[in-house]
Amino acid sequence: MTWGHAATADITIGTLDLRVDGPADGPPVVLLHGFPQTSLSWAGVVPRLVDAGYRVIAPDQRGYSPRARPVGTEHYATDVLADDVVELADALGLNTFHLVGHDWGASVAWVVAARRADRLRSLTAVSVPHLAAFGQSLAKSEEQREMSRYMQLFRQEGRPEDVLLEDGARRLVDFYEGRVPDDAVAEYVRILSESGALTAALNYYRAMGSWMSELPAVTVPTTFVWSDGDRALGRVGAELTADFVEAEYRFVELAGVTHWIPDEAPDALADAILDRAGR
């Protein structure tokens, strides 16, 4: 399960590994993966984008790329991760681009859209709602508070690394719910077992700040894709997201699909991205 051509981009914190595919002169689409995955998670989506003529760039984000794995929780704040995306675009000479993010990639993408709308042609956020909508859902929904209980473990120092990697990374493998291809899971486990990698990935949770719930509305054309089988993100936040988009907006609900939308429903997701970006 592979796609694209290996590439790298130097930004302030180090060197990001990239997968790149599609015509060099195609409209650029940047794809941001979530936890606990890498750019490989887009393998099922990319062929459709390339066939439509897009240039696809998918980084292994900070902490997942071995040469961009700084030590210290402060290096993984969501606004810092969003700055990486703009720096990546600068390094690649992309003045404007379409942005797509799943899971933590979506969280980062919402911040980019809110703070640097001048750089985006469109936004497609997958699974994670606008961060202010998510904050409201935690306040309003007991279901969402229960769904988010796992974050309490992930924000602890040291313990979740031991829990997820012990016994041959059994609990990390279980995290994918059997919905992610085995060869991809093997790659994710290999990468997250590298020195400091899982700590870096978990630092995304540890660096979460209250400001995220105060993120302003986005003003770029936006599609939000959510699945009703997601065990971590409930309907309340999904439906509240419309209140935080001050531009043309579409909500795409995928029935019977779990959290792992890029793996489980790549064609439906590709359709949503192409409908937003323009075929």
Q: Write down the catalytic residue from 17, 60, 103, 263.
A: 103
Distance CA 43, CA 70 (A): 27
Measured over the CA atoms of residue 254, residue 250, residue 239 and residue 144, the dihedral's sign is positive
Which token pair is 255? Answer: 């029935």
- Report the C-alpha gap between 263 and 98 in whole angstroms: 20
Rounded to whole angstroms, how far apart are CA atoms 105 and 34? 5
The beta strand positions in 22-119, using DSSP E, are 28-32, 55-59, 97-102
For tokens 């949770």, the residue is: 205
Task: Please say whether the dihedral angle defined by the alpha carbons of residues 47, 49, 51 and 56, taken in this order, is positive or negative.
Answer: negative
CB distance 5 to 227 below 8 Å? no
Catalytic residue check, 98: no
In what order do the strands lie in the sheet containing 55-59? 5-11, 14-21, 55-59, 28-32, 97-102, 120-126, 222-227, 249-254
Asked if 89 contacts 119 with a C-beta cutoff of 8 angstroms, the reply is yes
259 is catalytic: yes
Which of the following is catalytic: 17, 102, 205, 230?
Answer: 205
- Told to judge if 76 belongs to the known catalytic residues of this protein, a careful annotator would answer no
Catalytic residues: 103, 205, 259
